[in-house]
Chain A
Amino acid sequence: MISSSLLALSFGSPWLLLGTALAAIPAILHLLFRREHRAEPFAANRFLAEATRKHSRRLRFQHWVLLAVRMAILMLIAIALARPTLKDGVTQTPAGRAPIHHLFVLDATLSMRHRDRGQQRFDRGRAILQKTVETAHDGDTFRLLVIRAAGTPLVIAQAAGRRGDVLEELARLEPTWESGRELETLEITLALLNTPVPSGRLRVSLVTDLQRSAWQPPEQDRRKRIRDLLNSIRQQSELVVYDVSGPAASNTAVVELKSETAVAIVGEPVTLRATVSHFGPPEPTADQVETQVETQVEWHIDGRMVARRKLKLVPRGSTTALWSHRFATAGEHHAEVRLSGDGLPDDDHRHIALPVRDRLKVLLAGGRFGAGPDQVATFFVEAALDPGLGTADRSADAIDSPRIATTVIPESRLVGQDLDRHDCIVLCDVPRLDRLEASRLARFVSAGGGLVIGMGNSVHSESWNRLLGQAGSGLLPGRIGELVSADHPNQQAVVFDPGNYAHPLLEVFRGLDGNGLGTTVTLRYLDTTPLQGSQVALAFDSGDPAILVRRFGHGHVVLVTTSLDPRWTTWPVLSTSFPPMIHELVRYATCGRWSARNHLLGQPIIRRIGPQVTAGTLVAPDGSSLAMENPVATNTVPRIDPSQNPSQNPNQNPLPGTTASGRLVSDPLLVPGIYRLSLVPPGESIETHGVNLDTSESDLATAEGQTDRARLSGVDAPIYTRWHDADAAAVFQEPGRPLGRLLLSILLGLLVVELAMAWKFPVGLVALGLLLAAGMLEVGAAVGAAVAAAVVVVAVVAVAVAAVWGRRVLRNRHGRHRRHWERAG
């Protein structure tokens, strides 16, 4: 029965019930009407008086009925606005609604940290979900997912019925610094919709800032996938989207901070390059393009500000800021660039870990040893790196001299060397390597070391290809082929062709006339075919590669297809470009060692370790400690993000040339800043690692479109910017006998009745009778067929009475236009 439901009547906005006082308006107007109305002289007032006298009772009845109808209309409007609902228990009542299983999907990506009008987008979104929980009905259940990059999206995985617990979880949530995995989250949402729920309807509330880069990606297949998932969700549930982005916002961000100097060495200038991007409103006008945005750039070294500059940006453009610094001491340093704050301060700064060496340690291994320079394969390379000063300590004033310490060994002693003590290994005219050497070299390079290989007469290309080529460890950037010699009849000497000096290795030569590259004559070289992933940094004018490079793990391999001594080329003796080129080759090969120190948010730190190291501790920027584990020792699987392209991130496993036993792996790092890694047992120093966020979230532009459907890439779902009582809408729309729909129906009916009564009272009375009959049927059906039949009879009788009365009045309708012409007789 409905009695319990009637007792459980509640109102969503009870204060609007004060509007029922508006029902007094018709009565007030009636009183006012008595005093103010149009005056019309009329000669036949006696007939009016007679008509009034005879019909006064009827007129009073009509008046009061009409007044009651008008008052009822106003009262119903007020009641309807107060959103009446019938609270029910865990089961559906005739006038209530079924329980709802809510799936909350809350965007917790970096862009949700944007703050405007003093409130973060995330907080606005959280408040919406909290309101939804607070206004939910008994029997409703909840699940909660967040859109983020690392970890699982599920916060509340099982359907939770206790609202207090859900509110606690919501209160604990914080936005991340991560980008989002929208596709995966939607897929999980869809999967949850397919799992059994206790009862009732399914509703997905998607709370996001509808960032364009995420929800309208340029890749058509990705956009299509998002659309398909949203459509599938909408088909299986009620999908409600909340856009908490607020007004269109511009944003500046440091999208990149890197060292232009491959290796930071004490006393040598280290050039830092920061790229600052401005993400402004879409489609800037011509005036806006001309107008520059100004920001303040601060440079911080080891936490201390060392410079502050103004930087002008073009709207929706990028600008580079450079800063050069000389470190006075070797050790673990870090740099940071900061911008003046805006609504999203988290992307206004970026860190870089800068381990500074007092010198580069280069191991030179030659395939030939002897007394004179021409006997020693490494002579010219050594001379170029350390011209006459050996490894003696140098004055700190000699800042123009590179600080490189060279160690020269014959290649036969390579196997006994502790390669990790060096930063770069240069192999000159080494005939061949054995498996152990090849393996050790691979590990060395993958951990960040540099390898430079020069050819010569001694080189056995077949052995090199087999052990270090594609079929072997994969170190070589190219497959070594046949000798190309000017001695051959159809071949001739070649010179370097630097092209447009595009490769970073040639940066120092760009713009220098007479740099020597174009005049260096090479008589012999090995025809080498670049392998996949390699680059040709410098070619001969014959088109064949002269220098090939490739990244291997964290390090780089540089392959020079000619010799690094005068036997094949005049380069070491006749070209001024040889020494600087050797320096560049070494620095380039070595730069990877420190790239392993800088990571993107959401990735783990993977540190190659020796057998003596058992564990490591990572201290995060917020002071918390994270343990780094050896996956083999703890039988754990490294936490790898499978969506990341391993070739783009050297931190990805598997590291070529390594085994699981030689690594420490951290959890994915979720806080940007500088981390400090200390090893157990303690190493030489605490390593600094820089973790920066992915600035793909920095463009705050929201999904475009004139309609909600267009903004959701063709999905028909409403988008709200404020909490929306979807229950109220459902109450009005839900099939069955909802209170709201009944009220609206009665209200509309009364409006028609009022119009009809004002026009012709009997007609209005008939309409009122029909409305009562319809309303009683509506109620009667809920209480049983017998009662429904009784009320139908009552309604029919009421209509009949009204019709009879109306008919009497309607009968004489001809008086108005009848011409009365009476003739006597």
Chain B
Amino acid sequence: MTGDGHPSADPAPSATNPSLVDSTLQSRLDGLTLETRRRLEGSVTGRHRSRLRGFSAEFAEHREYVAGDDLRYVDWKVYGRSDRYHLKQFEDETNFSCWLALDTSESMSYRSANAPLSKLDHARRAAAALAWLVLRQSDAVGLVTVAGRLGQLLPPSTQPSHLGQIHQALLASTAEGPTGLGSAFADLASRLPRPAIVICFSDLFDDLDQTFVGLEQLAWRGHDVVLLQVIDPAEQDFPFEDPTRFVGMEGEADQVVEPRALADAYRGEFRRFLDDVSTRCRSMQMDHLLLRTDVPLDDLLPGFLQARRRRGREARP
């Protein structure tokens, strides 16, 4: 049982894949929660804010008494001040659904010489960790892969055994095909039955306009979108020295360059790209976290969750 009376649900370890279980990360995430920044509606009374007004421990607002209301919720202090009858209204806590949207386009398979993992592997680990966290807090988590279109789709579930299914789905995903995030997110937005947290794992190597159109579709439908952008250190640092033919992925043209002559210009372009993503996320009030594959997740995720929680509580009226 958790402190608020909800049963705790550690995901069943026997069904999980050891390659996706990071015990260090889990120990760092222990005690943390993934919270929503928006008001969502769940099916079970849980800890998350719901858009619905109901009767719960947390006062939300007053309304005038109409005949037939329960007199137990009349705010007599307000009556004493105003000689009018008002009822207290309370927030109705619900659980939420969390969708993990994993970009499985070809570019996610990239791994440079100095990187410990490919972007896809790094994203899998982050997704697995967050899936574990969500299930542990008795929320539902599902998985969808995105590569030009929606791929594998695993609906959310609160069952601890669902973690194993998520691991299997993560490992079964392969990086191939174009990115096509925009249309995929738009498609996802139309499919989701009710607002959820949608955590996107992608390098965003796609048309940003279209991508954010898709993300906006999700946001407009009330989903709480989190963008975890996964990049390889070589993509940001461009450490190449020798004249090289850079072979493009996802059908991009090869580039023959003298790296030393072009390094600064490339880094500038990449920096602008990151800045653009960051700016768009901010404008959409969308959480954005840059995940470099050479930076351990336990250095980033706990802090991100804590900051998100803080922001969420600051944003509540």
Residues of A within 8 A of B (CB): 33-34, 37-52, 54-55, 59, 62-63, 758-761, 809, 812-813, 815-825
Contact status A815-B236, CB under 8 Å = yes
Cross-chain pairs A/B with CB under 8 angstroms, 21 sampled: A37-B243, A38-B243, A38-B245, A40-B245, A40-B246, A42-B247, A45-B255, A49-B253, A50-B269, A52-B257, A55-B265, A62-B261, A63-B261, A760-B260, A812-B267, A816-B267, A819-B292, A822-B274, A823-B304, A824-B281, A825-B282
Contact status A39-B273, CB under 8 Å = no
Pick the contact of A43: B205, B269, B288 (CB < 8 A): B205
Contact status A52-B290, CB under 8 Å = no
Q: Kindly list the 5 A-B residue pairs having the minimum CB-CB distance in the complex, ordered from nearest.
A: A815-B267, A43-B110, A822-B278, A51-B265, A45-B248
Q: What residues of chain A lie closer than 8 Å to B265, measured between beta carbons? A: 51-52, 54-55
Closest to B278 in A: A822
Q: How far is the CA of A234 from the CA of B171 in the complex (A)?
A: 87
- The answer to the question of B277 belonging to the interface, with a C-beta cut-off of 8 Å to chain A, is yes
Q: What residues of chain B lie closer than 8 Å to A825, measured between beta carbons? A: 282, 285, 287, 311
Contact status A823-B110, CB under 8 Å = no
Contact status B246-A45, CB under 8 Å = yes
Min Cβ gap A815→B in Å is 3
Which of A38, A55, A815 has the most C-beta atoms of chain B within 10 angstroms of its own C-beta?
Answer: A815
* Chain B 232-251 near chain A by CB (<8 Å), digits 1 or 0: 10111111101111111100
- The answer to the question of B286 belonging to the interface, with a C-beta cut-off of 8 Å to chain A, is yes
Contact status B232-A43, CB under 8 Å = yes
Q: How far is the CA of A823 from the CA of B277 in the complex (A)?
A: 11
- For chain B, the count of residues having a C-beta within 8 Å of the partner chain is 64
Pick the contact of A824: B242, B243, B255, B285 (CB < 8 A): B285
Pick the contact of A815: B257, B268, B285 (CB < 8 A): B268
Min Cβ gap A753→B in Å is 15
Q: What residues of chain A lie closer than 8 Å to B307, measured between beta carbons? A: 823
Q: How far is the CA of A704 from the CA of B311 in the complex (A)?
A: 92
- The answer to the question of B295 belonging to the interface, with a C-beta cut-off of 8 Å to chain A, is yes
Which of A42, A758, A821, A825 has the most C-beta atoms of chain B within 10 angstroms of its own C-beta?
Answer: A42
- The answer to the question of B94 belonging to the interface, with a C-beta cut-off of 8 Å to chain A, is no
Q: What residues of chain A lie closer than 8 Å to B12, measured between beta carbons? A: none
Pick the contact of B266: A39, A48, A809, A813 (CB < 8 A): A48
Closest to B227 in A: A824
Q: How far is the CA of A809 from the CA of B267 in the complex (A)?
A: 12
Pick the contact of B110: A38, A42, A46, A824 (CB < 8 A): A42
- The answer to the question of B203 belonging to the interface, with a C-beta cut-off of 8 Å to chain A, is yes
Pick the contact of B237: A48, A813, A815, A824 (CB < 8 A): A815
Extra 18 A-B pairs, beta carbons < 8 Å, given A37-B256, A45-B255, A49-B252: A37-B244, A38-B244, A40-B247, A42-B235, A42-B249, A43-B235, A45-B247, A63-B258, A812-B264, A812-B271, A815-B238, A815-B271, A816-B263, A820-B292, A821-B290, A822-B277, A823-B307, A824-B284
Q: Report if A822-B248 is in contact (Cβ < 8 Å); known contacts: A43-B107, A55-B265, A815-B236.
A: no
Contact status A822-B257, CB under 8 Å = no
Q: What residues of chain A lie closer than 8 Å to B20, measured between beta carbons? A: none
Min Cβ gap A261→B in Å is 93
Q: How far is the CA of A441 from the CA of B247 in the complex (A)?
A: 118
- The answer to the question of B71 belonging to the interface, with a C-beta cut-off of 8 Å to chain A, is no
Min Cβ gap A599→B in Å is 83
Closest to B283 in A: A824
Which of B232, B245, B269, B273 has the most C-beta atoms of chain A within 10 angstroms of its own C-beta?
Answer: B269
Q: Report if A48-B274 is in contact (Cβ < 8 Å); known contacts: A39-B247, A821-B300.
A: no
- The answer to the question of B262 belonging to the interface, with a C-beta cut-off of 8 Å to chain A, is yes
Pick the contact of A809: B110, B231, B235, B264 (CB < 8 A): B264
Q: What residues of chain B lie closer than 8 Å to A44, measured between beta carbons? A: 107, 205, 235, 270
Q: Report if A816-B239 is in contact (Cβ < 8 Å); known contacts: A43-B203, A44-B270.
A: yes
Q: What residues of chain A lie closer than 8 Å to B311, measured between beta carbons? A: 825
Min Cβ gap A594→B in Å is 92
Q: What residues of chain A lie closer than 8 Å to B231, measured between beta carbons? A: 820
- The answer to the question of B289 belonging to the interface, with a C-beta cut-off of 8 Å to chain A, is yes
